[in-house]
Amino acid sequence: MYGELMSTQERLIETTRELLWERGYVGTSPKAILQRAGVGQGSMYHHFTGKQDLALAAIRRTGEEMRAVVDRLLGTGGSAYERVEAYLLRERDVMRGCPVGRLTMDPDVIASEELRAPVDETIAHVRTRLAEVVQEGVDSGEFAPHLVPHDIASAIVATVQGGYVLARASGDTGTFDAGARGLLALLAPSPASAPSTD
Protein backbone atom coordinates (compact mmCIF):
# COMPACT_ATOMS: atom_id res chain seq x y z
CA MET A 1 0.00 0.00 0.00
CA TYR A 2 2.84 2.38 0.82
CA GLY A 3 5.95 2.98 -1.25
CA GLU A 4 9.24 1.43 -0.26
CA LEU A 5 10.73 4.87 0.34
CA MET A 6 8.17 5.87 2.98
CA SER A 7 9.66 5.55 6.43
CA THR A 8 8.09 3.39 9.10
CA GLN A 9 7.22 6.52 11.07
CA GLU A 10 5.47 8.03 8.04
CA ARG A 11 3.56 4.81 7.37
CA LEU A 12 2.34 4.81 10.96
CA ILE A 13 1.20 8.43 10.78
CA GLU A 14 -0.53 8.05 7.41
CA THR A 15 -2.22 4.82 8.45
CA THR A 16 -3.45 6.40 11.66
CA ARG A 17 -4.82 9.37 9.73
CA GLU A 18 -6.82 7.04 7.48
CA LEU A 19 -8.15 4.99 10.38
CA LEU A 20 -9.10 8.07 12.40
CA TRP A 21 -11.07 9.31 9.41
CA GLU A 22 -12.77 5.95 8.90
CA ARG A 23 -13.33 4.84 12.48
CA GLY A 24 -12.57 7.75 14.78
CA TYR A 25 -10.21 7.63 17.73
CA VAL A 26 -12.20 5.17 19.80
CA GLY A 27 -12.44 2.72 16.90
CA THR A 28 -8.77 2.94 15.95
CA SER A 29 -6.83 0.27 17.81
CA PRO A 30 -3.04 -0.09 17.88
CA LYS A 31 -3.50 -3.56 16.37
CA ALA A 32 -5.43 -2.14 13.40
CA ILE A 33 -2.77 0.52 12.87
CA LEU A 34 0.05 -2.03 12.89
CA GLN A 35 -1.77 -4.42 10.57
CA ARG A 36 -2.62 -1.79 7.99
CA ALA A 37 0.80 -0.15 8.14
CA GLY A 38 2.47 -3.53 7.83
CA VAL A 39 4.89 -2.94 10.71
CA GLY A 40 5.62 -4.71 13.96
CA GLN A 41 4.64 -3.57 17.43
CA GLY A 42 8.24 -2.67 18.24
CA SER A 43 8.29 -0.17 15.38
CA MET A 44 5.34 1.73 16.78
CA TYR A 45 6.81 2.04 20.24
CA HIS A 46 10.20 2.96 18.82
CA HIS A 47 8.72 6.13 17.29
CA PHE A 48 5.79 6.88 19.59
CA THR A 49 5.00 6.40 23.26
CA GLY A 50 1.62 4.85 22.43
CA LYS A 51 -1.68 5.29 20.62
CA GLN A 52 -2.34 8.82 21.90
CA ASP A 53 1.10 10.07 20.88
CA LEU A 54 0.71 8.59 17.40
CA ALA A 55 -2.85 9.89 17.07
CA LEU A 56 -1.67 13.37 18.05
CA ALA A 57 0.93 13.32 15.25
CA ALA A 58 -1.73 12.15 12.80
CA ILE A 59 -4.28 14.77 13.89
CA ARG A 60 -1.67 17.52 13.63
CA ARG A 61 -0.76 16.40 10.10
CA THR A 62 -4.41 16.35 9.04
CA GLY A 63 -4.92 19.83 10.51
CA GLU A 64 -1.87 21.19 8.71
CA GLU A 65 -3.11 19.84 5.39
CA MET A 66 -6.59 21.25 5.89
CA ARG A 67 -5.23 24.68 6.81
CA ALA A 68 -3.02 24.65 3.71
CA VAL A 69 -5.99 23.83 1.46
CA VAL A 70 -8.08 26.59 3.02
CA ASP A 71 -5.25 29.13 2.71
CA ARG A 72 -4.77 28.21 -0.95
CA LEU A 73 -8.48 28.49 -1.80
CA LEU A 74 -9.09 31.71 0.10
CA GLY A 75 -5.76 33.33 -0.75
CA THR A 76 -6.13 33.16 -4.52
CA GLY A 77 -7.34 36.03 -6.67
CA GLY A 78 -10.96 36.75 -7.32
CA SER A 79 -13.76 38.43 -5.47
CA ALA A 80 -14.66 37.57 -1.90
CA TYR A 81 -17.76 35.76 -3.14
CA GLU A 82 -15.72 33.72 -5.63
CA ARG A 83 -13.28 32.65 -2.92
CA VAL A 84 -16.08 31.61 -0.55
CA GLU A 85 -17.66 29.77 -3.48
CA ALA A 86 -14.36 27.99 -4.21
CA TYR A 87 -14.19 26.88 -0.58
CA LEU A 88 -17.79 25.63 -0.46
CA LEU A 89 -17.71 23.88 -3.83
CA ARG A 90 -14.22 22.40 -3.71
CA GLU A 91 -13.90 18.70 -4.43
CA ARG A 92 -14.49 16.65 -1.28
CA ASP A 93 -15.10 13.03 -0.39
CA VAL A 94 -18.49 14.00 0.99
CA MET A 95 -19.57 10.53 2.06
CA ARG A 96 -16.46 10.08 4.19
CA GLY A 97 -17.10 13.35 5.97
CA CYS A 98 -14.55 15.81 7.31
CA PRO A 99 -11.40 14.25 8.77
CA VAL A 100 -11.20 17.00 11.39
CA GLY A 101 -14.92 17.41 12.08
CA ARG A 102 -15.17 13.65 12.57
CA LEU A 103 -12.91 13.93 15.61
CA THR A 104 -15.27 16.31 17.41
CA MET A 105 -17.67 13.39 17.80
CA ASP A 106 -15.08 11.26 19.60
CA PRO A 107 -15.53 11.47 23.38
CA ASP A 108 -11.88 10.51 23.99
CA VAL A 109 -10.65 13.34 21.74
CA ILE A 110 -12.92 15.90 23.35
CA ALA A 111 -11.92 14.73 26.82
CA SER A 112 -8.21 15.08 26.03
CA GLU A 113 -6.92 18.65 26.00
CA GLU A 114 -3.88 17.51 24.03
CA LEU A 115 -5.82 15.71 21.29
CA ARG A 116 -8.53 18.38 21.12
CA ALA A 117 -6.08 21.27 20.70
CA PRO A 118 -5.11 20.68 17.03
CA VAL A 119 -8.79 20.10 16.19
CA ASP A 120 -9.76 23.41 17.81
CA GLU A 121 -6.84 25.21 16.17
CA THR A 122 -7.77 23.96 12.72
CA ILE A 123 -11.44 24.88 12.98
CA ALA A 124 -10.53 28.28 14.43
CA HIS A 125 -8.10 28.86 11.55
CA VAL A 126 -10.75 28.05 8.96
CA ARG A 127 -13.27 30.38 10.63
CA THR A 128 -10.70 33.19 10.90
CA ARG A 129 -9.66 32.95 7.25
CA LEU A 130 -13.27 32.88 6.10
CA ALA A 131 -14.08 35.88 8.31
CA GLU A 132 -11.18 37.81 6.76
CA VAL A 133 -12.51 37.14 3.27
CA VAL A 134 -16.06 38.14 4.25
CA GLN A 135 -14.68 41.33 5.84
CA GLU A 136 -12.95 42.14 2.55
CA GLY A 137 -16.29 41.66 0.79
CA VAL A 138 -18.06 43.96 3.26
CA ASP A 139 -15.34 46.60 2.98
CA SER A 140 -15.45 46.56 -0.82
CA GLY A 141 -19.25 46.76 -0.90
CA GLU A 142 -19.55 43.30 -2.42
CA PHE A 143 -21.40 41.99 0.65
CA ALA A 144 -24.11 43.77 2.60
CA PRO A 145 -22.71 46.15 5.24
CA HIS A 146 -24.77 44.61 8.05
CA LEU A 147 -23.06 41.21 7.74
CA VAL A 148 -20.92 40.23 10.73
CA PRO A 149 -17.89 38.44 9.25
CA HIS A 150 -17.29 36.03 12.14
CA ASP A 151 -20.97 35.09 12.19
CA ILE A 152 -20.94 34.41 8.45
CA ALA A 153 -17.73 32.40 8.79
CA SER A 154 -19.38 30.28 11.48
CA ALA A 155 -22.41 29.78 9.22
CA ILE A 156 -20.15 28.65 6.37
CA VAL A 157 -18.33 26.12 8.57
CA ALA A 158 -21.65 24.93 10.01
CA THR A 159 -23.06 24.49 6.50
CA VAL A 160 -20.09 22.36 5.45
CA GLN A 161 -20.10 20.21 8.57
CA GLY A 162 -23.89 19.88 8.53
CA GLY A 163 -23.74 19.05 4.83
CA TYR A 164 -21.57 16.04 5.58
CA VAL A 165 -24.12 14.83 8.13
CA LEU A 166 -27.04 15.28 5.74
CA ALA A 167 -25.21 13.50 2.92
CA ARG A 168 -24.23 10.55 5.08
CA ALA A 169 -27.71 10.26 6.59
CA SER A 170 -29.44 10.33 3.20
CA GLY A 171 -26.76 8.50 1.24
CA ASP A 172 -26.89 11.34 -1.27
CA THR A 173 -24.11 13.87 -1.89
CA GLY A 174 -26.70 16.15 -3.45
CA THR A 175 -27.85 17.26 -0.02
CA PHE A 176 -24.36 18.62 0.69
CA ASP A 177 -24.37 20.47 -2.62
CA ALA A 178 -27.85 21.85 -1.94
CA GLY A 179 -26.71 23.32 1.38
CA ALA A 180 -23.68 24.93 -0.25
CA ARG A 181 -25.78 26.38 -3.08
CA GLY A 182 -28.35 27.68 -0.61
CA LEU A 183 -25.75 29.55 1.42
CA LEU A 184 -24.15 30.97 -1.71
CA ALA A 185 -27.55 32.21 -2.88
CA LEU A 186 -27.96 34.07 0.42
CA LEU A 187 -24.48 35.61 0.10
CA ALA A 188 -24.73 36.51 -3.59
CA PRO A 189 -24.62 40.27 -4.18
CA SER A 190 -28.00 41.54 -5.29
CA PRO A 191 -28.26 43.04 -8.80
CA ALA A 192 -29.06 46.42 -7.20
CA SER A 193 -25.71 46.43 -5.40
CA ALA A 194 -23.67 45.37 -8.42
CA PRO A 195 -21.39 48.06 -9.88
CA SER A 196 -22.88 49.97 -12.80
CA THR A 197 -21.42 49.31 -16.26
CA ASP A 198 -22.74 52.58 -17.70
pLDDT in tens, 9-65: 999 999 999 999 999 999 999 999 999 999 988 888 899 999 999 999 999 999 999
What residues does each domain of the chain span?
A: 8-189
Distance CA 154, CA 183 (A): 12
Global confidence as pTM = 0.88
Query: Does the pLDDT at position 121 exceed 70?
Result: yes
In tens, the pLDDT along 57-116 reads 999 999 999 999 999 999 988 999 999 999 999 999 999 999 999 999 899 999 999 999
Domain 8-189: homologous superfamily in CATH: Tetracycline Repressor, domain 2 (1.10.357.10)
pLDDT value for 198:
46
